[in-house]
Each structure stands twice: as C-alpha cells, then as structure tokens.
Structure 1
Amino acid sequence: MKEFLVELTTTVPEGTAPAEVDRRRAAEVVRAGELTATGHLVRLWRPVGELRSIGVWRADDEGELYAKVLGTLPLWPWMTAVVTALEPHPNDPGGSAITA
C-alpha cells in the first residue's frame, strides 16, 4: 500500500440538527477504528487550537483512498481534503535506508 498525507477540514452545514452531528461523529469514531484495524488509517493529529485533522493514510492508490477509504467516513460529505502522495525519504529515521 502507498502512504498519503491527508489534511481534512470538516464544516457542518448550517442548520444541521445537533442530533445528526452527534450521530455522525459517533459513527466516525467507529469507522476510524475499522480503518485503523485494516491498515488504512496509520496516524491522526489535530493541530493545537484548530478544527482540522492531519493524518497518514494508506491505500493501493489515490482512487482507492477516495472511494474506499475517505469516502466511507460518515463526516465525508462535510469534509474537504488535501491529499499528498508520500514516498520514503532516504534519511527517514524510521526507515531502513539509513546506514552507519
């Protein structure tokens, strides 16, 4: 699988009932857990003081990322995404490319 850096911003449509927001947020927790278990969601952060999320996600390609991963999030219809495909860096301290 390939890795992608994904920035997600959620904007709840004006006039949405609070119960609907709560329902989708609860379902989002469940779906994020499922995507973690299947190896699609690797890490997720929220910048301090902001309402956006930044994460590392995995998929076979960008098409799968949108259709079968991000597109399955309950909050997806309210999200905007910035996706950046990643590749290993030769100096990555977590990779095996570094030699002494």
Structure 2
Amino acid sequence: MDLKQIQKRIFENKLTKGFNIDNVEKEFCFLMGEVSEAFDAYNKKQGTLGSELADIAIYLLGLSEMLGINLSEEIQKKILVNENREYVKVHGANVKK
C-alpha cells in the first residue's frame, strides 16, 4: 500500500468512527499533542515510542487528506530540495545557506 492509499484509509476511518474531519485547527492541536506524547515516551524510555510515532504519522496523514494534500508527492519534492540545498554550521547546527 502506498502512502496516498494509507492517507485515504486513515481519512475513511475518521469518517467511519466519527472523528474530526473538518476542524483543521483542532487537528493541528491533536498532532502537537501526539508529538508531545512521543517525546514523553522517548524521554521516559517507555516501550510505547513506536506506537506514539505511528500516532503522529496517522494524524499527519489524516490532516493531509483533510486539506487535499498528497503528502507522498510533497515528501518526494521536499527530499529533492533538501538533497540539493547547501547548509552551513552555525553554533553546531546545520542552517540553510
């Protein structure tokens, strides 16, 4: 199954189960909450990190479908941009040139 199919499947599950499908702001908040939960699982060395990362992906893909964005295409385009971008080190971190 490709990413676009997964994106559609996630959205269909949201519809079927009665989850949010139209409040984009709320969905961003839920996504941020999942990122926080993943960090917490990592920080506390819990065995749930993989599941929390999956939740992040699910919320991100669901949000992409809500917004009509083919995330697979966008990721592929962004990978090309990043591969061709030059970076410089500033205070130990890579920054766009």
Same fold (TM over 0.5): no
TM-score by length of 1: 0.29
Larger relative contact order (CA 8 Å, sep ≥ 6) = 1
TM-score by length of 2: 0.29
Higher helix share: 2
Q: Which has the larger radius of gyration?
A: 2
Higher strand share: 1
